[in-house]
Structure 1
Amino acid sequence: MFLINKLTIIGLGLMGGSLAKALKAQGAVGEVVATGRRAESLERGLQLGVIDSYTLDMAEAVAGADVVVIATPTLVAEKVMAELAPLMTANMVVTDVASVKGNIQKAAERIFGDVPSNFVLGHPIAGSEQSGVEASAVDLFLDHRVILTPLANTSDAALSLIRSMWETCGAEVVCMDVAEHDAVLAATSHLPHVLAYTLVDALAQNGAAADIFRFAAGGFRDFTRIASSDPTMWHDIALANRDAILQGIDTFAAHLNTVRGAIADGDGDVILETFERAKHARDEHFLGQYLARQKKSPSS
């Protein structure tokens, strides 16, 4: 049976809290200790039963830990690694949940000289527009993917441990190159968040903003839901994955300009072809995923 005797979570929020809940529900963890900079959120996690104890002293928190999870915003993770570096031991496996992997790898190389073999870079592709430990959910990772980006020197044992941890939470684990991960996530997650924030901000500054939001229908709510996500976290992501996001913005802007030109010229053929291609691509991908999940389901 898979078991982590002591799990330490650095930065107790949605991701760290959900991981603790999922492992506890599976009986896969003996003790969950959390640390961070804000005693209020840690105390709340204790009250909710998400963690077993907390401390503001990182050395105390990680002492004897089998697994340490850095669950802070992307840019904060770099500061955490610097503080964690002298506390790491050979028996400790460290991982993270940051949405950008390139900056974590570079920061680790600066801090450690090289990324330690017992540091497994990871990113669960799951989340919510809500944040904080109060929003944590036992099933947040169920049937979602977790991307691990092992390096050439990553320990097989460490990689296996972190893979098992996420699989115990019900996630599908895949491995990917760091650069590929950041490019894929820029297109599928980071760019959509930038677009949602920008659209809502633009409309909010419109003179008719009150009526715009008053009469917004389901499509607007669905598209802009992610603009309710934690601004600090997405600020960090935008800066950490700057190059890939800029490339995505440029590609999107070129396509948007083409559609704008077609609308301005009354070119219905281009408009319809664009919309039909987009519908086909989305339906083919997401319907295929849905049918695959239904086929795997015991109730199907």
Structure 2
Amino acid sequence: MSDPGASLPPPGRPQGEGAAWGAPLVPVLAVVGTGLIGGSFAAALRRVGQAGRVLGVGRHPASLRRARDLGLIDEIADLHQAAAQADLIFLATPVGAMAPILRDLEPVLRPDTLMTDAGSTKVDVARLAQDLLGDRHVQFIPGHPIAGSEMTGPEAADPMLYHGRKIVLTPFEDTPGLLQHRLIRIWEACGARIALMTPEAHDRALAAVSHVPHFLAAAYMAQIIRAEDADTRLSLAGTGFRDFTRIAAGSAEVWRDIFLSNRAAVLRELDDFDQVLRQLRATLEGDADAATLESLLDQAALARRFWGGRSQMQ
């Protein structure tokens, strides 16, 4: 991936098509977690001139310095400094790290600051916001960008990561309409498409199409490397193996938190998958004939081709 800093405007100077519109949508942006997701968000807004000054907050000083060197952020700040200055706080951290962050932000948060997150689960994040922010939870709109990569760190940041991708927002019933509209405009400036859902519907759907696929890819990769002839197997692996296991290379910390926070929905999906796997296995064990096996494989192939063609048109 090319160096994102090479295409970014100078720090603190909005450029691009958004500059002609006057003040940027986000005069001061604070990104908590400046890796792939947070860094790409800052880069995307800067690309269109919709982020003025960008503050970087995080646990790893070296990563923050790298983000600054790449031009993803202008300044390194702590949470209190971010809360005092930011118009938008974007939480791009593992779900398990959000509780202490929200707890620290609550007493110092400005009444006009908007907050959102990029967590892959939403029921637990919404509950944390209500419990830890109290009345200020209306300033927080849970979100999940359906975009990513197995790459990590500030170097992986891509200003086009969200272009044409879907962003799920799960606002509260009492979220002010103006705040919701504001966040939608900000994401649309990144080139994203917005979907509004309840947290429960989001978590059920994402367990099926994101969380369980990663769980299975990781399990399969673990099975391969534990084999006595693992080196031989890997030396013969081709594009199918690479495509199937690609997502297993993601951050272990991030995915640990996702599986634990969405445990019930993931387990339900694994139960459903197990039933299909048993049915397929039975065709190999002689309980069904070759025609049954072919029918099951054909059903899956047709569904995948249909989905692939439809997703390319969207």
TM-score by length of 2: 0.90
Any stretches of 5+ residues in structure 2 without a counterpart? Answer: 1-20
Counterpart CA distance in 1 for 2:199 and 2:223 is 33
Q: Deviations 1:224-272 (Å, cap 9, x if unpaired)?
A: 0111111111011010110000111111111001100111116212211
Task: Give the secondary structure class of the aligned counterpart of 1:271.
Answer: helix
Alignment check: 8 A CA contact 1:125 1:146 kept: yes
Any stretches of 5+ residues in structure 1 without a counterpart? Answer: 294-300
Task: Name the residue aligned to 2:79.
Answer: 58
From the superposition, tell whether residues 31 and 63 of structure 1 become closer, same or farther in structure 2 (CA, over 3 Å): same
1:89: Cα distance to partner? 2.0
Task: Name the residue aligned to 1:48.
Answer: 70
1:77: Cα distance to partner? 1.3
1:105: Cα distance to partner? 1.2
RMSD over aligned Cα, in angstroms?
A: 1.2
Counterpart CA distance in 2 for 1:228 and 1:282 is 23
Alignment check: 8 A CA contact 1:108 1:114 kept: no
Alignment check: 8 A CA contact 1:7 1:33 kept: yes
Task: Name the residue aligned to 1:78.
Answer: 99
Counterpart CA distance in 1 for 2:154 and 2:104 is 23
* Matched ranges for 1:265-276 at <5 A: 265=286, 267-276=289-298
Counterpart CA distance in 1 for 2:245 and 2:52 is 40
Q: Deviations 1:13-58 (Å, cap 9, x if unpaired)?
A: 1100000101111000111001112111111100001111112x21
Task: Name the residue aligned to 2:255.
Answer: 234
* Matched ranges for 1:203-242 at <5 A: 203-242=224-263
- Does 1:196 find its partner at 2:217? yes
Task: Give the secondary structure class of the aligned counterpart of 1:86.
Answer: coil
Task: Name the residue aligned to 2:264.
Answer: 243
**Equivalent AA in structure 2 for residue 278 of structure 1:** A
Query: Which of residues 40, 46, 52 in structure 2 aligns to 1:18?
Result: 40
1:115: Cα distance to partner? 6.6
* Matched ranges for 1:119-138 at <5 A: 119-138=140-159
Alignment check: 8 A CA contact 2:214 2:248 kept: yes
Counterpart CA distance in 1 for 2:74 and 2:101 is 21
**Equivalent AA in structure 2 for residue 54 of structure 1:** I
Counterpart CA distance in 2 for 1:61 and 1:201 is 40
Q: Deviations 1:279-299 (Å, cap 9, x if unpaired)?
A: 111111220221x24xxxxxx
What's the % identity of the aligned pairs? 35
Task: Give the secondary structure class of the aligned counterpart of 1:146.
Answer: strand
- Write out the 4+ residue segments of structure 1 that deviate beyond 6 Å after TM superposition: none
Alignment check: 8 A CA contact 1:105 1:115 kept: no
Counterpart CA distance in 2 for 1:179 and 1:158 is 22
Alignment check: 8 A CA contact 2:31 2:57 kept: yes
* Matched ranges for 1:34-45 at <5 A: 34-45=56-67
**Equivalent AA in structure 2 for residue 124 of structure 1:** P
- Does 1:260 find its partner at 2:281? yes
- Does 1:89 find its partner at 2:110? yes
TM-score by length of 1: 0.94
- Does 1:182 find its partner at 2:203? yes
Task: Name the residue aligned to 2:133.
Answer: 112
**Equivalent AA in structure 1 for residue 273 of structure 2:** F
1:143: Cα distance to partner? 0.9
Alignment check: 8 A CA contact 1:191 1:248 kept: yes
Counterpart CA distance in 2 for 1:247 and 1:164 is 35
* Matched ranges for 1:139-178 at <5 A: 139-178=160-199
1:3: Cα distance to partner? 1.9
Alignment check: 8 A CA contact 1:120 1:154 kept: yes
Q: Deviations 1:126-146 (Å, cap 9, x if unpaired)?
A: 000001111010110011100
1:113: Cα distance to partner? 3.6
Total equivalences in the alignment: 291
Task: Give the secondary structure class of the aligned counterpart of 1:69.
Answer: strand
